[in-house]
Every structure is written in C-alpha cells, then in structure tokens.
Structure 1
Amino acid sequence: MTLRRHLLAAGAAMLAVPAIAQPIWPSGPIRIIVPFPPGGSTDAMARLLQPRLTQILGVPVVVENRVGASASLGTAAAARAAPDGNTWVLVFDTHAVNPALIPTLGFDTERDLLPLLLFGTAPMVLTAHRTRPYRSVADVLAAARARPETLTFGTIGNGSLAHLTMALFEKAAGVKLVHVPYRGGGPLAVAAVAGEVDLPIATRPAIGVHIDSGALIPLAQTGATRSPSMPDIPTLAESGVAGIDARAFWGFLGPVRIPVPIATRMEAALRETLAVAEVRERVAALGIDLDPQGAEVFGPFLSRQIATWGQVVRDNNIRPD
C-alpha cells in the first residue's frame, strides 16, 4: 500500500468514527527512539528537537537510545509500537541499507513504518591523512592503478553507506582498494586522525573536526552536487568519477497506522521546531543540509534509497560485520 493510499484510507476511517471516539493526543509522554548510542548525529538531532517539542506539544518528550543490529533493533521497536502517536523513531541512512543487509529484520521497512518528515541530507567526504601524498582523487586513482589492492579506505562499518559508496567508486573508476571497517563513527575518527588508513570516508559530522584541523585533507564529496556546507570541495563527478550520488539522511518515522490528525500535528510541531533560527544553526553545525520534506517526498525518497543500496549490497555480496 502506498503512503498516499494509507493516508486516504486512514482519513476516511477517521471520518466514519463518531466524534467521541476521535483520538485525544498527546495524552501522555512521547518517546523518540534513537537506534544509535549517545553522542552521534542522530542522537544530537533528537536531543535538539526534544525541549521544543515538549513545549509545543505540552507533554514530556523523552529520547530513548535503543541500539543494536545496525540500528534495526530500535527501529523494530517503533514499527511494532501501538499506533497512538506516543512512539517515533529518528533514523539515519542505515535504515535504507538494512533490508538488504539484514534479511531477518522482523519488520517490513516500507510497509510497517510511516515516513513522516525527512530532515535533511549530507554527502560523505573522501579524505586523505595529511601524511599521505594524495591531494586529489586523480592522485588516488593513479596510486591505486599502480599498486592495486594496497590503498586502504576506512568506514564506520561493513555495509555502511560509505562502504557501499566506495564499492560504486571502485567499479566506476576501475580500481581495487582495501576496505577497513570500524565499529562506528567514534572509532573511525580516532583511527583517521592517527593515520591508520589512507582514505577515511564519512559524513562531516563524523570527521569534520579533523578536516578543519588539517589532519585530514578533503578530496571529494559524494553528492551529485556540492553541499552548501562544503562549497569548496569538489564532487566525485567533478573529480572524474561520474554516476555517484551518495548522501546520508536523517528522518522521522512512526508506526504505519498512526491516525492522520496525530501525524499531521506531529509534523507541524517538528516543522515549527526546525523553523527556529537557533535550531537551524545547530543543525547546520552538525553538517546536515536542512531541507524538511513531508511524507509525499520522504516516502518515494526512501523507496529509491532502499532500491539503490539494496542492489549494491547484492551486486557485491556484502555481509554485515
């Protein structure tokens, strides 16, 4: 069932119910599940939204970090929650990769969750440690062709968006590199600044501080166009490797049967929060290109992401750590 059909059907059902049975919401504490540990960009986004949502909605809004299985455990909890508007989940790009990477999710990513609001996106940045001789993608390609399967690239994990992006990069450029997966953004950042790998690749929220310090040299960003937050860094296409548009994303979802009035009010509260100048500035500081998009855009966007990255997983026989 498409998202539009869900909303129409839910709206019709609401009209058919006597006024006395209409949902009274919010009726208690609201839980935002973050399926990642504290400290990452997803957690930071949730905690940035939390106080203003509490003020706007008039009930406590709590952030619950529920981690495990590449963020699928926390997302599964949201998918299985009662559709009463009291449980939501804030996801990252792993949400679009997990259906292909983890066959036993226990829920259907597209049918069991309602995509309420896409907050924004961010390209990843392919970097080189300052002690390496690479100052452009051309330098990397020349070295990779001269010494196949010797240059290393580091990511936040096996099957991560960065890993899949580099699989596309290798195919498009006709080179072979060595993947070094780390267990999350923290370990990758430590390894990157220590020079453990030749080419760390991650979003700016993960490694931006080391780019700013000069420890990492930015070579290219992975979006189809340059991010407003990184206008001086060329894209892969501008660097001679065409056909790649890989962007991390942050989005807000709930159980699929949430009544339309509840979904509408929550989306309005989120948009009101994101319209505050201080909030927008802090989101930009996280390295996220804020561009709120509702269900009519977010739903098809997710479907495209799931199809694209699922194909990369299957084509390269990628397995989770």
Structure 2
Amino acid sequence: MDRRKFVVATGVGVGLAGCIDANVDSSGGGTDQSDPGDSNGPTGSGDSSDDSDPSLDDEASADESRGDDGNGDRDGDETDNEDETEDGPDRSVTFHSCTRATVSGTFDADDVAFASTGFYDEGLYGDTILEDGVVFGDDVTAPFSGSVTFEIGNESNVDAGDEEIVVEVPDYGNDGTVITSLTTRRADYMGAAPTHANPHADECLGELEPDGDGDDGTATFDVAGAETNAPVTAGEYLEASVEIENAGGTSGTETVELIVGTDPERVDARQITLDAGERTILTVGYETPPVDNDQEFPVRVETEGDAVTRTVLVYGTG
C-alpha cells in the first residue's frame, strides 16, 4: 500500500495545510483528508495507545524514557544532531541527524523496526508511514542482537549483517527527505503509529521548506548511498564510494571521514569544497590489515552532520 501523502505548502509552515491521501478511494471518487497535527503522525509525540491490539498489551506495556531535554535544544557542536532514548530495558534509539537513525538491542521473531519520513518535492510536502523497515523472522533472521540503522539513500534496500542491519530509505523528495520517527513496538506498528519521534524533525523539515526558516547562509554536506568493493582479501585495498551533496544555501568546505570497525577507527579523511546545491562522487579507502580468519565489520563514511554505513567482509589469509 502506498502510504505517501502530499500536502500543498502554504508557506506558513508544516502542519497548516490539508493533508491529501494519494490513494483515492475509487468507490467514493474523493480524497481522504487527515489532520497533519494528529499526534499519531510521524512527527507526533511518539506515545501510542496500547488498546490498538489488546493481545499485545504485555509487549507494549514497558515504559519508555525520552532522552531529550524536553525542548529539542542541541547540546554541542559534535553532538547537536544526536538524541538517544531508551526503548525498553534492552534497546536504545538514537537520531544521529536529519537523515540517519539507529535502534540497537535484541529482537525476537515478529519484532519490528520501521522508519517514517517527511519530505518536500517541488514545493509540496509529503510523508511516508512505515514504508521502510523490517519484520524480524520475516524480512530478516530472528532472533537478532545488534543495531538497525536507517539512512536516506538512493533506493529502497536492506543490507543484513550478523551484527548490523542497514535499511536504506529512498530520497522521496527532490528537495530532501527527513527521518521523522521510528516504530519499534509491535503494538505501534499495528496501529501505524510512531514509537520514537525525531525531536528535531520540525527543524529539519523547516530547512527544506520553500521560503522557510532554513539558514541559507550555511553549508550542509549530506551523504547518500555507499558502494564498496567488498569482499576483499586481507591486505587488499578496501574502497567506499559515496555521493556528497551540499544541501545548504552557500558554498562550504568539510572533511569526509572513513570510520571502520566495531571499535571505530578513522582510516581515511578527505577535504572537499562544494557550491550550494553541488554534488560529487567521493571515494575513500584504506589497506586492510592482515588477518587469519574472515572478518565482517561496519564501515561508515561521514561528514560533520551526516553519515552512511555498510557492512563489509574481508577474507582471512589463514
């Protein structure tokens, strides 16, 4: 089911225009209207009602603590895009940036991890609800212990590793796409509701909104997609190619880094300069160290405000 919705932008901000369901009911011949201010929307409070499925009360009864400070303020230059919350005793959720989020913990069969988005396309606002994600035991193996990373990329894709699952979320809008919430509880999934709202979703969307309040004087380097030459044999050169776009309103220079391993280590860094709206393909890499056994580990390419992650395999020489 195509759950994307489009809204005519009013120039006054997200939430003031009528939300138009892109799926027209052929029997009624009209369009379904919904209130974009509904708290169950992708940028709502993140709290859901357990009575959406009485059989799941036990699963949905765990209290969740919200790790933000209540006003959405960012705390520092290096961490101003990251907000971590708890999802029960064994999971944590982090919104690293407007386009990347992670849920970490243990997942059993029928557990879920899905992302919802908001986007602008040719001046129109739209959203997706639970379009991108996985059902454990159906889409990926269960039980699973590790992290599920959602990131905006070029296409819909799921890359499942032993300790990390990467869900690539398509860039639905030509003007940009934001991960607005994650749904990680079965009861919320059944009710098409968010479990965790991105506390900076409104700010992120404001930067994309035509004639909005975004800072046109700031360079913002976004990372999309990631192609590697893995698998490689230990001692060979491992490369990752990504698309870097300056989504800000002015030219700028940033350092793009390649981070590898479960114990993260920076192995390459490149400085690039882009004009506003300019894109480029950048390749980073390093010579893998000699190992006897096969190794599977994450590699991450990141800018100051965005990152993409892939799981790679290096064959041992023993």
Q: Which one has a larger percent helix, Structure 1 or Structure 2?
A: 1
TM-score bucket of the superposed structures, by smaller chain? under 0.3
